[in-house]
Structure 1
Amino acid sequence: MLMLFGDFVLDRGVCVFSGSVIDVFARLGVSSHATRSTLTRMVNRGLLRRQRHGRRMYYGLTCRSTAILHDGRARIWQSGAVNDRWDGSWTLLCFSLPESWQRQRHDLRSQLAWAGFGPIQGGLWIAPGAVAAQDIVTGLGLEAHARVFHARADELTDIGGMVRDAYDLAGLAARYEDFLNRWDGPAPLADPLAARLSLIAEWLGAIRRDPRLPVEHLPAAWPAVRAQKLFRELEASYLEPSREVAAGLLDLQPDEQA
Structure 2
Amino acid sequence: MLSFLGDQVLGRDVCVYSGSVIDVFGRAGVGEHATRSTLTRMVGRDLLRRQREGRRMYFGLTERSEAVLRDGEQRIWEEGAVNRRWDGTWTLLGFSLPESWQRQRHDLRAQLTWNGFGPLFGGLWIAPGETDVSGLVAELGLSAHVKIFRAHADAGMDIGAMIEETWELDELAKRYQAFVRRWQHWETAEPAADEALALRLRLSTQWLQVVRRDPRLPVKHLPDNWPADQAEKTFRTVYTRLTPLAQQSADHLLDLVPVRPPV
TM-score interval (norm. to shorter): over 0.9
Q: CA deviation at 1:188?
A: 10
**What do residues 66-93 of structure 1 show as CA deviations (whole Å, max 9, x unaligned)?**
2211111111111111001111111111
Instruction: Give the match's secondary structure for 2:185.
Output: coil
Q: CA deviation at 1:33?
A: 3.5
CA distance in 1: counterparts of 2:43 and 2:219, whole angstroms? 40
Q: CA deviation at 1:129?
A: 0.5
Which stretch shifts more, 163-172 or 186-195?
186-195
Q: CA deviation at 1:200?
A: 0.8
Matches within 5 A, 1:134-145: 134-145=134-145
Q: CA deviation at 1:204?
A: 0.3
Which stretch shifts more, 204-213 or 113-122?
113-122
CA distance in 2: counterparts of 1:115 and 1:252, whole angstroms? 33
Q: CA deviation at 1:257?
A: 3.2
Amino acid at match of 1:203: W
**What do residues 193-251 of structure 1 show as CA deviations (whole Å, max 9, x unaligned)?**
11111111110010012100011111111111100011111111122221111111111
CA distance in 2: counterparts of 1:37 and 1:97, whole angstroms? 35
CA distance in 2: counterparts of 1:199 and 1:38, whole angstroms? 20
Could you list the runs of 5+ residues in structure 2 that have no partner in the other structure?
Answer: none
Amino acid at match of 1:79: E
Q: Quick check: 2:137–2:146 contact (8 Å CA) kept in 1?
A: yes
Q: How many residues align?
A: 258
Amino acid at match of 1:211: P
Partner of 2:71: 71
Q: Quick check: 1:188–1:195 contact (8 Å CA) kept in 2?
A: no
Pair 1:197-2:163 in alignment: no
Q: Quick check: 1:92–1:150 contact (8 Å CA) kept in 2?
A: yes
Identity of aligned residues (%): 59
Q: CA deviation at 1:30?
A: 2.8
Q: Quick check: 2:191–2:242 contact (8 Å CA) kept in 1?
A: no
Q: Quick check: 2:115–2:215 contact (8 Å CA) kept in 1?
A: yes
Matches within 5 A, 1:1-258: 1-186=1-186, 190=192, 191-257=195-261
Q: Quick check: 1:117–1:125 contact (8 Å CA) kept in 2?
A: yes
Amino acid at match of 2:207: W
Q: 1:177 to 1:3 in 2, by over 3 A?
A: same
Q: Quick check: 2:89–2:129 contact (8 Å CA) kept in 1?
A: yes
Q: CA deviation at 1:189?
A: 6.5
Q: Given the two structures, how large is their TM-score scaled by the length of structure 2?
A: 0.91
Q: Quick check: 2:200–2:246 contact (8 Å CA) kept in 1?
A: yes
CA distance in 2: counterparts of 1:231 and 1:111, whole angstroms? 26
Amino acid at match of 2:211: I
